Amino acid sequence: MLRLDGVASITSKALKLTDGTYKGVGRAFYGGRLNSISSFSTTFVFVITSGPYSDSSGYGLAFTLSATTDSLLDTLPSQYLGMFNNENLGNTTNQLFAIELDTLFNREFRDIDSNHVGIDVNNLLSINSHTAGYYTSDGKFTTLRLISGEPMQVWVDYDANSRHVNVSLAPYLEPKPERPLLSSIVNLTSVLPRSVYVGFASATRLWSIHQIIGWSFNPNGAATPLDYSVLSEVIDDVRREAESQSDTSSHILLPIIIMSVFIVLVMLIALYIYMKKARKSGEWEIDCGSPSFTYKDLVTATNGFKNRMLLGKGGFGKVYKGTLQTSKKNVAIKRISPDSKQGMKEFIAEITILGHLRHRNLVQLLGYCRHKNELLIVYDYMPNGSLDRVLHGQGNRTIDWIHRFNIIKGIASGLLYLHEDWEKVVIHRDIKTSNVLLDNKMNGRLGDFGLARLHNHGTDAHTTHLAGTWGYIAPELARLGRATKATDIFAFGVFMLEVACGRHPIEVNNSGEPVLLTDWVIDAWESGSILKTVDPKLQDYVKEEADLVLKLGLLCSHSVHSARPCMRLVMQYLVKDVSLPDFQASFLSLTTRDEDFDQHMMHILSCASVATTMTGLSGGR
């Protein structure tokens, strides 16, 4: 008995996983959970029909072993094959093993081509893949086109002792090839629980039909051979149905595609005309809550952008000191060059977001200017420059512990405002010491919101590309490219360690190997001397505060996002409204797959008011 989900159905005695529905998902599982799987074997015959527009068809199907069917309820169609979504892709908690038959090339998953077989473990980045085909008895490789509409047979064999998985493919009625198409070592006991669900998943983009004609599975031994006499009759029925649907689809889809292309062209032409008129009219105002300056104002303020007014420069352009003629106020002017890494999108994001924010620990935006190809942003002038220059600059200039601790608390307060206290959630995405500026009283202010993104409270951010600075980038951000409150908190944890230790997030040891600041502090803690990591330039510091900053910094930069505290709780730790839980350095190396992880998490949460600490845990939402 099969459990069907999505658009899956049984027709013409075949299991039809997808029926040609646009972006459809179909799944089928053996009715119950299999409680004991060791050396399993399976074989199945499938047919993938591309329809009249094969270039737009896809994406394929997969044989799956999974811990649960519930985790597949939020899966996506198209390239995700009905097995994953853009949030859980690559998570070890998926507990899923699959053999994919993929019919479209996808650069995101590093596909080798648009017609391949792959072995997947918790991810669509296959651990091994090969162009679809088979090896003949004389060793010659023959390619098979998965989406040809012709029936093919797959064999999957797993040996629990050697941990070898072999995958073979051949045309229907051909014998099983002596040489497998794929062979890999996979320790399924570390991927799957003892009892699993077994079945198939499939997804479409525009038009394709994925069908399983016959299937045999043995959880502990060789699979029973398929009855080809019965399957041949089913294949004949499937072919007749495909021919009739193909004729119907051609008449329906062709007019729809032509009309869609026409509408898109009209919209693009209208948008082009509108943008061209807008540029010519010079109407270019952004609602940022701050006034715009004329280019003449800023040229006068900087004496023509003279080099002696230059404060610094980077990939975005240059920053100048200026004095506004009307108010005699000192300002900092970021002049973004046309070939800058910071383009129009980042420029608008910075002035739109920062222009509405009001907090003593955030750099205040005063206005902006656009002149021809130049973009300029005007801020409050910070006379003591950036924090990284003070921490890592040459010479004897340094900063004492009192100011360091106040800077940490100030940036924490500003980040709490961004995450929880403003009308929207602001994800900064580039927290680091070079983006913290110091005013005349050495108070820290967080700046550079060019990479920042905002969204409503209670919803998720839709940022899906990697941004930030190496050393401050959380593991899940590097893997999935999705920025959250938790990824900001990871960067803030590294920031705290950098301020306390006076070391860069990544440094090179005597052997020429890179060393992470977090690992260096953890090693010192495990050897019983965590306070020895405090910046040696500090002749006097409060040991209790330094110990708090170092351990809290490590907790915030935990590799598991759900182990990091939210910013409200971080602030409570820093101002000592709540005591930092007592945890060992060993907790920092635990993952969600370790048995002790949940026990440690319960201990940490029990040390504070759960009602006020759970905000922002689990992905920083």
Q: Which residues are catalytic?
A: 430
**Local structure of 290: helix, strand or coil:** coil
Q: Is 372 annotated as a binding residue?
A: no
Counting Cα atoms < 13 Å in the Cβ hemisphere of 130 gives: 17
- DSSP conformation letters of 393-458: -SSS----HHHHHHHHHHHHHHHHIIIIISSSEEE-----GGGEEE-TT--EEE---TT-EEE-TT
What residues have CB less than 8 Å from 297, skipping those under 6 apart? 324, 325, 369
Cα distance between residue 241 and residue 157, in whole Å: 32
Cα distance between residue 97 and residue 67, in whole Å: 9
- Does 197 sit behind a cis peptide bond, omega within 30 degrees of 0 on the bond before it? no
Q: 374-380 and 96-102 as β-strands: parallel, antiparallel, unpaired? A: unpaired
* C-alpha triplet 419, 422, 425: angle, nearest 5°: 40
What's at 536, amino acid-wise? P
Residue 15's closest CA among 202, 211, 232, 154? 211
**Buried b or exposed e, range 29-50, using 16+ CB within 10 angstroms:** bbeeebeebebbbbbbbbbbbb
Tokens of 619: 């992905």
Cα distance between residue 275 and residue 506, in whole Å: 44
Residue 63's closest CA among 20, 38, 27? 27
Tokens of 508: 């090179």
Other beta carbons less than 10 A from residue 185's beta carbon: 11
Residues comprising the binding site for ATP? 334
Residues comprising the binding site? 334
